[in-house]
Amino acid sequence: MNWDWDYAVDIFPDILEAFFKYTLTVTILSSVIAAVVGLLFAVIRYIHVPVLSQVVTGFLEFVRSTPIPVQLFFLFYVLPDYGILVGATTVGVWCLGLHYACYYAEVYRAGIDAVPKGQWEACTALSIPRRYVWQHVILPQALRNVLPSLGNYVISMFKETPFLFVISVPEMVSVAQGIGARNFDYVEPLTIAGLIFLAASYPAAVALRRLEIRLGHA
C-alpha cells in the first residue's frame, strides 16, 4: 500500500476546512454549554431545590445511560415529528453540550464537596449573603480544584465529534470518509484526519498536565 503525496496534498485543505468549520467549532460551543449548564445542574442538586432537583437528577441519569448516537438520532429525526425543527449543527452542539454537562455536573459537585466545611460555617457566622458566598467563596475554590478534570472532558468531547455523522454534519472524519469513497482510497484522508486530531489534542493534553502540576494535583 503506497502513500500518494499528490493525493494527500490535494485533499488536505478540504479536511482542514471541515476541522475548523465543524469539528473545532462544535467542540468549543459544546464545551461552553457543558460548562454553564453543568454548573447550574450541580448547584441545583447541591442546594436541593424542591422538585427541580429531582428532575435534574433524573435527567442526568437518563443522559449518562444512553449513547450519544442515539441521542443525536432522537433529537434530529424524532423531534421534527412534534414540530421541533433544528439544524443539524445546532443539534450536534446542544446534544454534545448537554451530554457532557451531565458529567461536568458531577465534577463540579466533587469540587464543591472539596471546599472545607469550615468556610461554609465562617460565612454563615458572618451573615454573608448566600449569593455572595457562592460567587466569591465556594465556586472559585471548587473551579480551581476541578479545572484539570473539565479539560480532560473537553478533549474527550473533541474526539467524539465524529458521532455527528449520524445526523449528516460534515465534520472532519465524515469529510475524510467521503473523499475516500469518491476516490476509492481511504488511507490518506483518514490518516490526515487522525493526524489533525493528534496535532490538536496532544498539545492540549500536555497543557492540562502542566496545569495539574501547577495546581498541585500531581
Cα–Cα distance between 121 and 79 in angstroms, integer? 47
Entry pTM: 0.91
Q: What is the model's pLDDT at position 1? A: 64
DSSP 8-state symbol, 66: S
Per-residue pLDDT for 2 more than 70?
yes
Cα–Cα distance between 101 and 60 in angstroms, integer? 9
Per-residue pLDDT for 210 more than 90?
no
Cα–Cα distance between 77 and 168 in angstroms, integer? 11
Kindly report, residue by residue over 14-49, the tens digit of the pLDDT. 999 999 999 999 999 999 999 999 999 999 999 888
3-class SS shares of the chain: helix, strand, coil, % to 5: 85, 0, 15
User: Quick check: helix, strand or coil at residue 114?
Assistant: coil
Average pLDDT over residues 190-214: 89
The answer to whether 4 and 180 are in contact (CB under 8 A) is: no
> Band of the pLDDT at 9, cuts 50, 70, 90?
very high
Among the ranges given (21-35, 93-107, 112-126), the one the predictor scored with the smallest mean pLDDT? 112-126
Cα–Cα distance between 51 and 45 in angstroms, integer? 10
Kindly report, residue by residue over 78-89, the tens digit of the pLDDT. 999 999 889 999
Per-residue pLDDT for 97 more than 60?
yes
Instruction: Show the cell assigned to 24.
Output: 473545532
Average pLDDT over residues 168-178: 96
User: Quick check: helix, strand or coil at residue 65?
Assistant: coil
Kindly report, residue by residue over 58-80, the tens digit of the pLDDT. 999 999 999 999 999 999 999 99
Higher pLDDT, 39 or 120: 39
Among the ranges given (6-10, 14-18, 188-192, 200-204), the one the predictor scored with the smallest mean pLDDT? 200-204
Q: What is the mean pLDDT of the chain?
A: 92
Cα–Cα distance between 151 and 23 in angstroms, integer? 17
Average pLDDT over residues 107-134: 88
Buried b (16+ CB within 10 A) or exposed e, 56-70: beeebeebeeeebee
Q: How many CA atoms lie within 13 A of 79 on its CB side?
A: 15
State the CATH architecture for 5-214. Answer: Orthogonal Bundle (1.10)
Q: What is the model's pLDDT at position 16? A: 97
Q: What is the model's pLDDT at position 49? A: 86
Per-residue pLDDT for 218 more than 70?
no
